[in-house]
């Protein structure tokens, strides 16, 4: 059974750096074709794809946030990390991680973690 779970701080201050962890099980990010994406959803708004990391350590980011985002993986711990710098109240959202299978779709999602940016 494939599962993913997001974890991290519920509250960060403006200008701080956010680090979220996606801990997964049931698959290996070392397996060819496997990928993990990060997605966020501000309250009452649409989902927004943020980026992804591939089995071969390739990384891709949404253009608008590329300078603030870093996605990395720790294969030994079955974890993917999302780092977002210079947090702003508009970054308040529920953050999800999801596995992308070889058909290039997000087939299993975590439950999400809510992050509020406020002083």
Partner 1 sequence: QTAVTQEPSISVSPGGTVTLTCGLSSGSVSTSYYPSWYQQTPGQAPRPLIYSTNSRSSGVPDRFSGSILGNKAALTIRGAQADDECDYYCVLYMGGGISVFGGGTRLTVL
Interface with partner 1 (CB under 8 A), residue total 25
Binding part of the chain for partner 1, among 9-17, 20-28, 76-84, 100-108 by CB under 8 A, reads: 100-108
Task: Look up tokens 């750096």; give the residue.
Answer: 17
Choosing from 75, 83, 105, 118, the residue that interacts with partner 1 (CB under 8 A) is: 105
40-99 positions binding partner 1, by CB under 8 A: 46-49, 52, 54, 58-60, 62-64, 96
Q: Does 32 bind partner 1 (CB under 8 A)?
A: no
Nearest Cα neighbor of 62 from 46, 80, 47, 50 is 50
Nearer to partner 1 by Cβ, of 10 and 46: the residue is 46
> Of the two residues 11 and 47, which places its CB atom closer to partner 1 in the complex?
47
Pick from 118, 116, 111, 117: nearest CA to 39: 111
Q: Three-state SS for 21? A: strand
Q: Rule CB under 8 A: is residue 112 a binding residue for partner 1?
A: yes
DSSP 53-96: EETTS-EEE-GGGTTTEEEEEEGGGTEEEEEE-S--GGG-EEEE
Q: Which two tokens stand for residue 10?
A: 């519920």
Residues that bind partner 1 (CB under 8 A): 37, 39, 46-49, 52, 54, 58-60, 62-64, 96, 103-112
């Amino acid at each position: 059974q494939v599962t993913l779970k997001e974890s991290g701080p519920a509250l960060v201050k403006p200008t701080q750096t956010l680090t979220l962890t996606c801990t997964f099980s049931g698959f290996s990010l070392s397996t060819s074709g496997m990928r993990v994406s990060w997605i966020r959803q501000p309250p009452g708004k649409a989902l927004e794809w943020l980026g992804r990391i591939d089995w071969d350590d390739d990384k891709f980011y949404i253009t608008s946030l590329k300078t603030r985002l870093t996605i990395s993986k720790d294969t030994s711990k079955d974890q993917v990390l999302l780092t977002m710098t210079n947090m702003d109240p508009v970054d308040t959202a529920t953050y999800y991680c999801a596995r992308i299978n070889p058909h290039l779709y997000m087939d299993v999602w975590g439950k999400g973690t809510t992050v509020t940016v406020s002083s």
